[in-house]
A and B are shown apart, each in its own frame.
Chain A
Amino acid sequence: MPAIFPRWTNNIPIAIGLLAPLVGAGLIFVVWYWFSPSYTDVGYRPEQPVPYSHKLHAGDMGIDCRYCHNTVERAAHAAIPPTQTCMNCHEQVKTESLRLRKVRESYKTGEPIEWVRVHQLPDYAYFNHSPHVAAGVGCATCHGRVDKMEVVEMDQPLSMGWCLDCHRNPEPNLRPLDQVTNMNWDPTQEAYDPKRDPARKRQVNPPLHCSGCHR
């Protein structure tokens, strides 16, 4: 009977045996690296309907984060301000600016501006801003130096592993309770030990069990 396959095909099984583990490891690496939030999400910078600059408002003019995101200390959600908050100033300032046309329109009609959400967690992760603020986690720790961003982008991956890194060892990410919204407070420069801070009534104890976040 003539041979069906040429002689070199004998090498195929050996080649498969050698390559398969490499391909498997390669695939795992590809998913681990390129499919992860630190690759796919960090730097996400959607275009907003109004070219609002955090750099100008929070940075140069030094408006406190809580002036607009006013629910952050009390609620799970840090509120996106209504148009009325903008108009508190812009009824007096830059009343004719073309870039604010949509804001005035919204104020007149009552239709909210459709801001594009930047930081979005999955529905099954029950994140709550208020305990984090109460524990002294700075805004900049998770959102980056928003005061230097012309357009807001994601600074941190917000992946589960990233959450757990801090929940396992929170101290390096804590700051004095009155410095939470201070963008210029640099944890690398300041020597702060939350355990010796008399202002703290109790020490932080972040949950590590599943239902801490997945209720």
Chain B
Amino acid sequence: MSHYLPTTHEHDIDPVEGRMALVQGSPSFAEVTEAVVRPIEIPHKRWWIAFFISLSMLGVLGISLAVLLWEGVGVWGNNIPVGWGWPIVNFVFWVGIGHAGTLISAVLFLFRQKWRTSINRASEAMTIFAVICALLFPTIHVGRVWAIYWPLPLPNQMQMWPNFRSPLLWDVFAVSTYFTVSLLFWYVGLVPDIATMRDRAKTKIRKIAYGIFALGWRGSHRHWVNYEAAYLLLAAMATPLVLSVHSIVSFDFAVSQLPGWHTTIFPPYFVAGAIFSGFGMVLTLMIPLRAWFKLQHLITTKHLENMAKVILLTGSLVGYAYAMEFFIAWYSGNPYESFVFVNRAFGDYSWAYWIMVSCNVITPQFIWFKKIRRSAAALFVLSIFVNIGMWFERFVIVATSLHHDFLPSSWDYFSPTMWDVSLLIGSFGLFFTLFCLFLRYLPVIAIAELKSVMPQANPHYTAKPKRKRHVTKSAVGVVESREDDRGSDDGEVNAEVSESQSVKVVVSGANKKLDKKPSDEPTAEAAAEEDDASAEAEAEASGEDGSDEEDKG
């Protein structure tokens, strides 16, 4: 079967639900599998370029870590009032990015937001890789990396035991729990797709590698029942984590007594900021991805628009939090508090503060314009600004509160060294290298899940009355196309829409354009075949893709 070419127009209507179809161009199940899996089986030149660049940046990380371990934390710009410096800024930045994954995968799943299925796999991968980058920074920030297991409650001859009253320890548990649950959730969702990869594998190594991780998945009904239960449970477990992890990260600041940190608004403000930055990063990754992998019909403008709306909401919440911090600083009448905030906006770090405000508060407001939120290019530029803004937010919080604390004699200005910068670049290298490897070996879209939101999988889906299989012979072999994969006239859909979707559909292999005529009478035949169609849909959704093999003849 040749590669399915996505249509350029985006107004296909879901024939059953009567609203914008989540998968455009009405591809068949087999064509969806093909579109997602093809870039894995035949890597693109662009992938090699991206991988090479990421790998070079990873090399920068290796060198910086070697220098750090050899020389000690003195290579950083951290000084005594600003003891946290860039490592903690980077930690909070990466943990925040990790938030969109869980929100998309768990919260939107529980709320039955079907549009999540096109983007959840890649966002969860992003989450996991971002949390790996995040965990790197507190680990190296302790200075003696070889003693990093000390925060874990393990029996030891030092009689050292974690201080359970410290938010820094809560952080260790919050982030590691989050990582474990996200990884499990991601993996459980991957199992049916890995089975698809295994079944399509041509080489022995691939068969064994995918075979191990597919856990013997055959797509039986019992498998699906267990799978659905496990997925739902994990979604329920992951949902509170969306709120808890960044709340606890914010406790690192809020539980201390430093003006500018000691605020009750921090937990919700951090969670909103995390989701904001997470969706920013999802857009940064997805917009080039859908263009390079030709997935515009699966990750549609509608998806981008939805994500942009989340960015607008959370960006406005973050802006509200900034304003509220100033209000409380004035309203509390606390001179230390108001000093810190005046210093934040007009002091030594005012440049950073205004970068933060313009990126986080002003930029998202452009999303109010429909033209901008439906333009992939505009959203890409916007998402970069969001990423920059959110990094600066963490920098402003860490640097401004610490550099002028209670004792003016210890005030100092923090400026990073080249090793601070190289570690940040290196962490991006780690992140993108992992993401490239993910693109190379795992389906970037949850194939089985995506099929479940396509009209063919809906029990109310009525196949076309004229439900014939066109078998055409071509140079490639026997090619089969089924009409039932395409839209129908359910009565709920008006005739005009039916007209518009009846335009040409490229049939694989033969490259033959079939014109499909909308018919009006739902016949008894169609009703009789309805069961048949949904049963078939289920069989295909189970990742077996038997028809694939048949198609190749």
Contacts and interface: CB of A to CB of B under 8 A. Distances in A.
B158 A160 contact: yes
B199 A1 contact: yes
B535 interface: no
Contacts of A5: 208, 211, 216
Nearest to A160: B158
A161 B207 contact: no
Contacts of A159: 157-158
B160 interface: yes
Nearest to A27: B154
B155 interface: yes
B159 A28 contact: no
B152 to A, nearest CB: 10
Given A1-B199, A4-B198, A161 B159 contact: yes
B-side interface mostly: loop
A28 B157 contact: no
Interface in B130-189: 154-160
B96 to A, nearest CB: 31
Interface in A57-106: none
B271 to A, nearest CB: 32
| Most A Cβ at <10 Å: residue of B159, B160, B199 | B159
A38 interface: yes
Contacts of B156: 31-32, 36, 161
A37 B156 CA distance: 10
B154 A157 contact: no
B157 A36 contact: yes
Interface in A151-171: 157, 159-162, 164-165
B216 A32 contact: no
A16 to B, nearest CB: 12
Kindly name the residue among A1, A13, A32 whose own CB sees the greatest number of chain B CB atoms within 10 A.
A1
Contacts of B211: 4-5
Nearest to B156: A32
A4 B157 contact: no
Interface string B210-239: 010001100000000000000000000000
A4 B207 contact: yes
A28 B207 CA distance: 36
Interface in A7-48: 10, 13, 28, 31-32, 36-38
Contacts of A10: 216
Contacts of B216: 5, 10
A37 B157 contact: yes
Most buried by A among B198, B207, B216: B216
A161 B158 contact: yes
DSSP majority for the A interface? helix
B151 to A, nearest CB: 14
A28 B198 contact: no
A159 to B, nearest CB: 5
Q: On chain B, which size bracket covers the interface? A: 10 to 19
B199 A28 contact: no
Contacts of A4: 198, 207-208, 211
A5 B212 CA distance: 9
A160 B155 contact: no
Given A4-B198, A160-B160, A28 B154 contact: yes
A179 B102 CA distance: 66
Nearest to A165: B159
**Most A-side CB within 10 Å, residue of B154, B156, B199, B215:** B156
A28 B208 contact: no
A10 to B, nearest CB: 7
A1 B198 CA distance: 11
B208 A161 contact: no
B459 to A, nearest CB: 29
A45 to B, nearest CB: 21
Contacts of B157: 32, 36-38, 157, 159-162
A136 B230 CA distance: 63
Nearest to A36: B157
Nearest to B201: A4
A32 B156 CA distance: 5
A9 B496 CA distance: 57
A32 B208 CA distance: 38
Nearest to B157: A36
A165 B199 CA distance: 61
Nearest to B546: A1
B169 to A, nearest CB: 14
Given A4-B208, A5-B211, A160 B159 contact: yes
A163 to B, nearest CB: 9
A161 B216 CA distance: 49
A1 B201 CA distance: 12
Contacts of B155: 28, 32
Nearest to B163: A210
Contacts of A36: 156-157
Nearest to B199: A1
A161 to B, nearest CB: 4
Contacts of A28: 154-155
A157 B159 CA distance: 13
A164 B159 CA distance: 8
Nearest to B208: A4
Given A159-B157, A162-B157, 11 more contacts: A4-B207, A28-B154, A32-B155, A32-B156, A36-B156, A157-B157, A161-B156, A161-B157, A161-B158, A161-B159, A161-B160
10 nearest CB pairs, A to B: A161-B159, A160-B158, A36-B157, A4-B211, A159-B157, A161-B157, A164-B159, A32-B155, A4-B207, A161-B158
Interface of B: 154-160, 198-199, 207-208, 211, 215-216
18 contacts: A1-B199, A4-B198, A4-B207, A4-B211, A5-B208, A28-B155, A31-B154, A31-B156, A32-B156, A36-B156, A37-B157, A157-B157, A160-B158, A160-B159, A161-B156, A161-B159, A162-B157, A165-B159
Interface of A: 1, 4-5, 10, 13, 28, 31-32, 36-38, 157, 159-162, 164-165
